[in-house]
Amino acid sequence: MKSRDLSILVYTSEKNRDMWTIFITLLDRYWKDRLYRVLCVTDTWDGTDYGFDGMVVKDGTWYEMITEGIRTAGTPYVMLFMDDYLLYDRVDNDVLEHHLENAKRYHAGNISLYKNDFVKTRPFTDSEYLRMVPGSAYSYSTQAGIWSAGYLLNRLKPEWSAWDFERRGSVMNRDTKHPLLITRDYSFPYIEGVRRGKWMPQATWLLKREHIGADFEKRPAMDDADIIRMHLKSLIIKKNPGLVQSIQNFFP
């Protein structure tokens, strides 16, 4: 019996179907005893069973697909995943349930389960978490975290992509009643596997470690130049995240 409190929505598309088997293989390897339904939210589906707990098919915008996913899930809390969020270690259900209970306890809009060096934070009543400053750059993120479904639905806009949600939604947020919390360290063992259509170095390492094959003709690995650009961008954002996001919002 799966939880009625939390569901996981995996946002993807038919063009990324090569990721689905890899995603599920690692999910089953490291989180076989998961308590939550994992729903694949995609634009099209050929009817093949890829191992998800359910398929949400909506050929529309990111807003329309996520909204349909939340409606289909029917749980008061959701986690937003991308198809390249790959588990590399065992997930502890007790840890996730602990954060879920705290999301309810504190009426949190979101509890981010990853370390974010870009966002402004303040101390929080519970020293386990930091509180993100409302309106600060990168305080909304599609990285792994527990969202109040109602809160999330009220913050989405029909014209927004996932990118808009992160960069525009973050600075527009002025809600002080529903805190956006963040754990002081990584609380969910996953990596982001793909950037700009290419495998990131940590993903190629993980695939090799786990003896999982991938089609590197379809999706190549990053070369040295790609890696350097990625790290330079990260350094620039970390130096002045507010300025970077303001520039991004000025040039949509």
Residue 40 CB neighbour total at 10 angstroms: 24
Evaluate if residue 252 carries a pLDDT over 80.
Answer: no
Tokens of 43: 């634009």
- DSSP assignment of 191-246: EE-EETTEE-HHHHHHHHHTT----TTTSPBP-HHHHHHHHHHHHHHHH-HHHHHH
Quickly state the pLDDT bin for 222 (edges 50, 70, 90). confident
Distance CA 201, CA 49 (A): 29
Evaluate if residue 248 carries a pLDDT over 80.
Answer: no
Determine which of 88-97, 149-158, 231-240 has the lowest per-residue pLDDT on average.
231-240
Distance of CA 2 to the CA centre of its chain: 21
Evaluate if residue 247 carries a pLDDT over 60.
Answer: no
Tens-place pLDDT, residues 188-203:
999 999 998 999 999 9
Provide mean pLDDT across the span 181-185.
Answer: 92
Distance CA 86, CA 25 (A): 9
Distance CA 92, CA 69 (A): 25
DSSP 65: H
Would you give the end-to-end CA distance of the chain in angstroms?
A: 44
The CATH label, of 1.10.3470, 3.30.450, 3.10.620, 3.90.550, for the domain at 6-250 is: 3.90.550
Evaluate if residue 241 carries a pLDDT over 80.
Answer: no
| Predicted pLDDT at 82 | 95
Distance of CA 229 to the CA centre of its chain: 22
In the predicted model, what is the mean pLDDT of the chain?
91
